[in-house]
A and B are shown apart, each in its own frame.
Chain A
Amino acid sequence: MTFGDFQAVKDTSFDLPKGKFLTILGPSGSGKTTLLRLIAGFEKPTVGEIFINGQPVNAVPPYKRAIGMVFQKLALFPHMTAAENVAFPLKMRRHDARNIGKQVERYLELVKLGGYGTRRIHELSGGQQQRVAIARALVFEPDLLLLDEPLAALDVKLREEMQLEFRRIQKELGVTTINVTHDQREALVVSDEIIIMNDGAIQQKAQPVRAYRAPENPFVAHFIGVTNFIEAVAVSANGSTVTLTCKGRELVGVLAAGSAGLAQAARCTCAIRAEQVRIAPSQDRLGKLETQVRGQVNDAIFEGERIVYEIKVAELGDVLMKVFDHDPVGHLQFGPGDIVHLGWNAKDLHVFAK
């Protein structure tokens, strides 16, 4: 999809089985909204074809596609009540007028807004407006539900509550759903499947656990979770196990799925999650962790349930590593300047070819 000569969505091809909850995860400006607008039919693809229920739909106008969409800014009709908003798609689709009232009431109940039907939109709270928007998008039993970051504007507590709501409603109705977000937590929590997008292109498509545990490229590793990157050069490979060297130090890691066939002396990017690095005051406390390095504490950030240490590791070229400590002793164990020992297992070090 191009705007002028700008390609907002590039080579993007995926399919989605019925009843699944797919999340498209990507930073702002990565083309998520454009992709949804293409699927909904508000934009025409410059090249390519979109199929819904096996039917090509490029020539079908939005109002003839059975797609419910919840917009980034909700787009509720301000001149109608909550119930009138929910009834709108039924009226437009010429449903039997005698059943509309019942259907609207049923869906308002579903989103836990029974009894709020007569309220005007501006008389509802942010979370309630959210629910009206969902009911309106679902009431006509669409083939596909599209969610364009509708939770982005809510505060954290409400957002987490609504994420679970989305999941509950989606499971209850079994409606095929594409959700778009830049919130990695949301993607992991609600989805059956995640597509990570950047610059209008798909970076990886995987189930949440795999997307987190087995990122296929540095972008995915960087975008989901807190990840440390180490530049290294490959020495030898044995199956997917790779031996590398960084500033003369030997590292062992696992080749990522997207980086098959590593050449000798190839430059690589290695990634390790902050929570997979153990931190200890002395080497003997690290036990049998396969890779162990020495570092100096640069900063210690108290985040409540965990402490984030920033450790400068001289052996690896002064790289700054983030390490989580889930505060087992109830106070900051280390302060800036302390010498600490870090350790991790080889299977947790993801190796990406450059």
Chain B
Amino acid sequence: MRTYRVAYPLTWRAMDVLEAFVAFVWPPSFRAAVPYLFLLPALILVGLLVLGLIQIADTSMRVLDRDTFLLSDAYSLDNYRRALTEPFFATIAGRSIIGSLIVTVITLVFAFPYAYLMVRTSSSALRKFLLVALFLPFFIGQVVRAYGWLIILGNQGIVNDILGHAGIPTLRLLYNYPAVLFGLVQYMLPFAVLMLAPALTAIPEELEAAAGSLGASWLKTFRHVVLPLARPGLVGAGLVVMTLSLTDFAIPAMLGGGSQDFIANAIYDQFFRTSDQGLGATLSLLLVAVGSLLVGVVFTAFGAGTLAMGGRRK
């Protein structure tokens, strides 16, 4: 036996030693536990999150004493009453929810043709260009991008410069609701395209040709074949865009200039400006609740299987 083992390369024998070692520390009878072992890091991370949520839930029920700036020891639902009844918070919540819905719709409308062209084009140069254009913003980061918009859209910015040359008086393009929505759409577009592209790739091009030969014009093919088959991708992309914009902080802060706060900005203010951690925690929990509710509604409406997790689709 020894004589022919010599003939094996060194790397093979190293692997033998390694395997023997693994068999010693982790005997084959433990094999069944391996998948759970790999699950452990994720479980720990999620577990930490739950612990944090419990902590926040605890804080949310303590009221700030305005004289001592300390949280009360006794539990009360006062923070929830304030958050749910004061018009100030209702305005912010409404602004965030309606904003994120508008952003979702506009983003999907823009992202779909982009993803479709990227997947279907026969020109590999165009596909590469679209891909690079898609990833470029990721390298820049949200804050820098928002700052870029300040430069471009500001009163002395490029856009107003050009308008000025055309004889149009300076427009206030920043620090309003549309500016925030615009910034969010621009920020979300790559996410949506990235989620739509695989869903569209999964639709065989031949199906569209078939629809054509069966009498469906381009529009009907889109409506009856492409759109229904792209639904999992649309729902997935829509969920991501909606939750990300609902909870966004930087864009409303920078492009809204304090006048267009979203929920995350209000939470920030409670924690770091008024130091009312109780109210901040309450708002945080309510944000989690609203987000979960939206996701839940989408899941019941379209089924969790629409995220291509059902495996029923062949």
Contacts and interface: CB of A to CB of B under 8 A. Distances in A.
Interface of A: 37, 40-42, 61-63, 65, 67-69, 71-73, 75-79, 88-89, 92-93, 122, 136-137, 140
A246 to B, nearest CB: 50
B293 to A, nearest CB: 28
A77 B213 CA distance: 13
A71 B214 contact: no
A89 B229 contact: no
B66 interface: no
Contacts, number: 66
Contacts of A93: 215
Nearest to B217: A63
Given A71-B209, A73-B206, A79 B214 contact: no
Nearest to B314: A122
Nearest to A93: B215
Contact of A63 (B215, B225, B229): B215
A69 B215 contact: no
A215 to B, nearest CB: 34
Nearest to A140: B215
Given A63-B217, A71-B206, A122-B314, A77 B225 contact: yes
Contact of B215 (A72, A75, A92): A92
Interface string B217-234: 100100011001100000
B210 interface: yes
Contacts of B220: 63, 92
A77 B207 contact: yes
Nearest to B122: A3
A92 B220 CA distance: 8
B27 interface: no
Interface residues of B, number: 19
Contact of A88 (B204, B206, B224): B224
B212 A61 contact: yes
A73 B213 contact: no
A65 B215 CA distance: 8
19 contacts: A42-B209, A61-B217, A62-B209, A63-B215, A68-B214, A69-B213, A73-B204, A73-B206, A75-B204, A75-B206, A77-B207, A77-B211, A79-B228, A79-B229, A88-B224, A89-B214, A89-B215, A92-B215, A140-B215
Nearest to B220: A92
B81 interface: no
Given A75-B207, A88-B224, A62 B313 contact: no
Contacts of A122: 314
Nearest to A89: B214
Given A71-B206, A75-B207, A63 B314 contact: no
B214 A140 contact: yes
A72 B220 CA distance: 23
Contact of B213 (A40, A72, A79): A40
A62 B314 contact: no
A328 B156 CA distance: 99
B152 interface: no
A62 B207 contact: no
Given A77-B207, A92-B216, 4 more contacts: A40-B213, A71-B210, A92-B224, A122-B314
Contacts of A65: 213
A56 to B, nearest CB: 19
A41 B217 CA distance: 13
Contact of B214 (A42, A61, A136): A136
Given A89-B214, A92-B220, A93-B215, A75 B229 contact: no
A69 B206 CA distance: 11
Contacts of A136: 214
B212 A63 contact: yes
Nearest to A68: B213
B228 A62 contact: no
Contacts of A71: 206, 209-210
A67 B213 contact: yes
Nearest to B229: A79
B228 A75 contact: no
A69 B210 contact: yes
Contacts of B224: 88, 92
A73 B217 CA distance: 21
A73 B210 CA distance: 11
Given A88-B224, A122-B314, A75 B210 contact: yes
A107 to B, nearest CB: 13
A92 B213 CA distance: 10
Question: Top 9 nearest A-B pairs by Cβ distance?
Answer: A75-B210, A92-B215, A89-B214, A62-B212, A75-B206, A92-B216, A93-B215, A69-B213, A122-B314
- The listed residue with most A CB atoms (<10 A of its CB), out of B206, B215, B217, B313, is B215
Given A77-B225, A79-B229, A63 B207 contact: no
Given A73-B204, A75-B206, A122-B314, A62 B213 contact: yes
Contacts of A76: 210
Nearest to A84: B224
A353 to B, nearest CB: 42
Interface string B194-207: 00000000001011
Nearest to A92: B215
Given A63-B216, A140-B214, A75 B314 contact: no
B214 A92 contact: yes
Contact of A75 (B209, B216, B217, B313): B209
A92 B223 CA distance: 11
B232 to A, nearest CB: 11
